[in-house]
Amino acid sequence: MKLITIAGPPSAGKTSVILRAAEHLSAKNRKIGILKFDALATADHLLYQKAGLPVQYGLSGGLCPDHYFISNIETGFLWGVQQQFDYLISESAGLCNRCSPYITGFLAISVVDSLSGAHTPKKTGPMLKFADIVVITKSDIVSQAEREVFAFHVRLANPIAMILFVNGITGQGAFGLSKCIEQAPESIAISGETMRFTMPSSLCTYCTGETSIGEQFCRGNLRKMRIAE
Amino acid sequence: MKKAIEDLPLQKFISMHPYILGYFAPLVKQFLSKTITLGEWIRSLTDDDFEEVGMDRGQTVNYLQFLIRYFEERGKRTSVKTITVIGGTNKFGEPENVVFHVSAGEIICIVGPTGSGKSQLLADIECIADGDTPTGRKVLLNGQAADTTLRFSTENKLVAQISQNMNFVIDMTVWEFLTMHAQSRMVAQPSETVENMMVCANDLVGEKFSPDMPVTRLSGGQSRALMIADTALLSDSPVILIDEIENAGVDRQKALSLLMKEEKIVFMSTHDPLLAFLGSRRLVIQNGGIAKIIEASAKERDNLSRLQNMDVFMMQLRTRLRRGDSIDEKLYFSL
Ligand SMILES: Nc1nc2c(ncn2[C@@H]2O[C@H](COP(=O)(O)OP(=O)(O)O)[C@@H](O)[C@H]2O)c(=O)[nH]1
Ligand SMILES: [Mg+2]
Ligand SMILES: [Zn+2]
């Protein structure tokens, strides 16, 4: 089975892009399963079901979604193996700019929205910088020149990724993406593999339920902002 | 090679590759002294500094070398002298039985009802189809099939698109935006190119605009003119797909001759007779297939000049309206 991890900010077009690429893979009689990870709520599983794709989803609730992702990916992977999928695609919403769900040796795809502005790529962390493929969506809405300027900034943020434009609605570009997904590495197990980038360090009093504001309540791994003169 | 860039003074390195600052942007608060070398600067940062911004210290020099080589490669224009389209099948599975060649500087028009398959033809050209799209068409460049990286990679794009959507969302002036675009294209003298684009764009448009206008405030016609000038003068894509050039506010004929002068291969989907007669050939699309190819005849060319007169007539009226004139004389126009 090939596991493909896909991450990107909310509403970037992840679900749409996965659906459009899956159409090309399904046309070749490939079996595709979806794992969807989100924080508080998701309706994406309905879209996948409607497209005839088997899907499992999990909500992290009070936990960081990427911590939740990494502690559940093995379970998801085993489900995929048991279902005999050719491709298992995980969709996770990148909610902070510090986390990424990518695993060494597995195809990692970042989805970014061309409307998010030329300065966004350099502000996006490992979710963009450690991906193998960066998919740029919604470029139908902006001019060719703005698309190119946006892609240039993506290139600077991630020098080695393959950059693809995919229209999540019409599917333009999804054929190329499906070709790349076909090239993803094959794997039989995930236990023992490692993440591409560390999770943010945590554990302050607020991680464990503190809600009060004030010096005396802050303990643990803290960092203070400096006010410029 | 690896040694070489690390030993360069930071200041010199940045002046040689100014766009590289974009790569360092997250670390930029750490630019303390520019008298040190690139290598010294990288060593002066802690692992935490890198980790903080999601970057990998070990890869920095490799990535920089990769970027430099990458952008050098991009500076080279891909030259496409001809495109060949080998027909596939229409939506009933009937063979199209066509093969045609298009040369640089030529305009091919695509006509047919909405939903007939014009967009699929443009999409086949865009992905340089290799018998693997729903139509089974093949597209050859200079007589040969393209390799996969050329087909799917965004940045080697052979095909630029001028679509109906000419919106801008970026918060910049026209000058800043064009400069940024020229820099991303590794243009040696960005200000000269930008100057040229401004002149060309203003030459195409009824209502002139200045370089310090925010791009988001341009009218539809001004945006279109700007993008046509940009595509003609800056884009290194040899092939241009146009999805109808709207009449409003843009001198379409001038726009097309600008693209032809730059030796582009233009495919244009249009139902405007003036534009359709400008092309050397028309592809008629029906039921998802190319049903026939019409060569522009001498008679059609003759009609073109009449239509041009009509276009000038309309344009003059538009200019007068904009000026605030009353147009109360009885209008006469004869072909
Ligand atoms: N115009 C346009 N809209 C898109 C494109 N891709 C996705 N969308 C729309 O953007 C919205 C969010 O897409 P979705 O796939 O749910 O994003 P996700 O939250 O990242 O999974 C939906 O309304 C999509 O229809 C695109 O390429 N162009
Ligand atoms: Mg989604
Ligand atoms: Zn997080």
The answer to whether residue A217 sits within a structural domain is no
**Residue numbers of the domain that contains A178:** 2-200
In this structure, are residues B254 and B204 in contact, taking their beta carbons and an 8 Å threshold? yes
Q: Greater confidence, A96 or B12?
A: B12
Question: What pLDDT digit, counting tens, does each position of B83-137 carry?
Answer: 999 999 999 999 999 999 999 989 999 999 888 888 889 888 888 888 888 899 9
| Residue owning tokens 């522009």 | B296
Q: How far is CA A157 from CA A148, B223, B250, in A?
A: 14, 28, 37
Measured between alpha carbons, how far is B136 from B129 in angstroms, rounded to an integer?
A: 8
Q: Is the pLDDT of residue B271 over 90?
A: no
Find the mean pLDDT for residues A131-152: 90
- Report residue A74's pLDDT band, with 50, 70 and 90 as the boundaries: very high
CA-based nearest residue in chain B for residue A128: B54
d(CA A47, ligand 1 centre) in Å? 12
Is ligand 1 within 6 A of the CB of residue A168?
Answer: yes
Highest mean pLDDT among B15-24, B143-152, B294-303: B294-303
d(CA A190, CA A77): 7
Would the pLDDT of B33 be above 70? no
Interchain contact, B154 vs A163, CB within 8 Å: yes
CA distance B223 to B226: 5
Residues making up chain A, counted from first to last: 229
B170: nearest CB among A100, A117, A127: A117
Mutate to test the pocket of ligand 1, among A5, A6, A11, A36 (most ligand atoms within 8 A of CB): A11
- Pick from A165, A145, A152: which is nearest to B22 by CA? A152
Report how far ligand 3's centroid is from the alpha carbon of B43 (Å).
28
Helix, strand, coil in percent for chain A, rounding step 5: 35, 20, 45
Contact B269, B113 (CB under 8 A): no
Residue A201 confidence (pLDDT): 65
Q: Which of the given ranges, A81-85, B114-118, B229-233, has the highest pLDDT on average?
A: A81-85
* The pLDDT of residue A211: 78
- Confidence label for A222 from pLDDT (cuts 50, 70 and 90): confident
Q: A141 CB less than 6 Å from ligand 1?
A: yes
Res B114: pLDDT: 84
User: B234 to chain A: which residues are within 8 Å by CB?
Assistant: 145
Sheet of strand B138-141: strand arrangement: B99-103, B82-86, B138-141
Contact between B128 and A175 (Cβ < 8 Å):
no
Read off the pLDDT of each residue in B213-230 and give the average, rounded to a whole number: 90
Which run of H or of E encompasses A157?
A: helix A144-157
Q: Which of B170, B187, B226, B242 to mutate to test the interface with A (most CBs of A within 10 A)?
A: B170
Q: What is the dihedral of CA B127, A20, A123, A158, to 10 degrees?
A: -40
CB pair distance less than 8 Å for B22 and A156: yes
- With the most atoms of ligand 1 within 8 angstroms of its CB, the residue from A44, A90, A137 to mutate is A137
Ligand nearest to the CA of A12: 1
Instruction: Please answer yes or no on whether B152 and A197 come within 8 Å at the CB atom.
Output: no
Q: Which residue has the higher pLDDT, B291 or B307?
A: B291
In the structure, what pLDDT confidence band is assigned to residue B75 with cuts at 50, 70 and 90? low
Would you place residue A166 in the very low, low, confident or very high pLDDT band (cuts 50, 70, 90)?
A: very high
| Residue spans of alpha helices (H) in chain B | 2-7, 10-16, 20-24, 38-44, 47-52, 60-74, 118-126, 148-152, 174-184, 190-204, 220-233, 252-261, 273-278, 298-323
More confident residue, B334 or A169: A169
pLDDT-derived band at A150, boundaries 50, 70, 90:
very high
- Percent over 70 (pLDDT), chain A: 95
Ligand nearest to the CA of A16: 1
The residue whose C-alpha atom lies closest to atom 5 belonging to ligand 1 is A168
Lowest mean per-residue pLDDT among A103-107, A123-127, B200-204, B221-225: A123-127
CA atoms within 13 A on the CB side of A129: 28
C-alpha dist (Å) from residue B272 to A158, B201, B240, B243, B246: 43, 22, 18, 12, 9
Within-domain flag for A215: no
What fold does the segment set B103-120+147-296 form as a domain?
A: Rossmann fold (3.40.50)
The structural domain count of chain A equals 1
Least confident interval from A169-173, B25-29, B181-185, B226-230 = B25-29
ipTM for the assembly:
0.76
Q: Please tell me which residue of chain A has the smallest CA distance to B124.
A: A172
Q: Rg (Cα) of chain B, in Å, rounded?
A: 25
Cα angle vertex A86, ends A80, A89, to 5°? Answer: 60
Residue of B nearest to A100 (CA): B54
> What is the rounded average pLDDT for all residues in chain B?
85
CB-closest option in B25, B154, B223 to A143: B223
Looking at residue A137, which CATH number applies to its domain?
3.40.50.300
* Extents of the domains making up chain B: 2-75, 103-120+147-296
Residue A46 Cβ inside 6 Å of ligand 1? The answer reads no
CA distance B42 to B10: 10
Q: Count Cβ neighbours within 10 Å for each residue of B236-247 and write b for 16 or more, e otherwise.
A: bbbbbbbbbbee
Q: How far apart are CA B270 and CA B110, in angstroms?
A: 6
- For B160, the enclosing helix (H) or strand (E) is strand B159-162
Query: Is A122 close to B132, i.e. CB distance below 8 A?
Result: no
- Sort out which chain B residues have CB atoms less than 8 A from A118's CB and list them: 170, 180
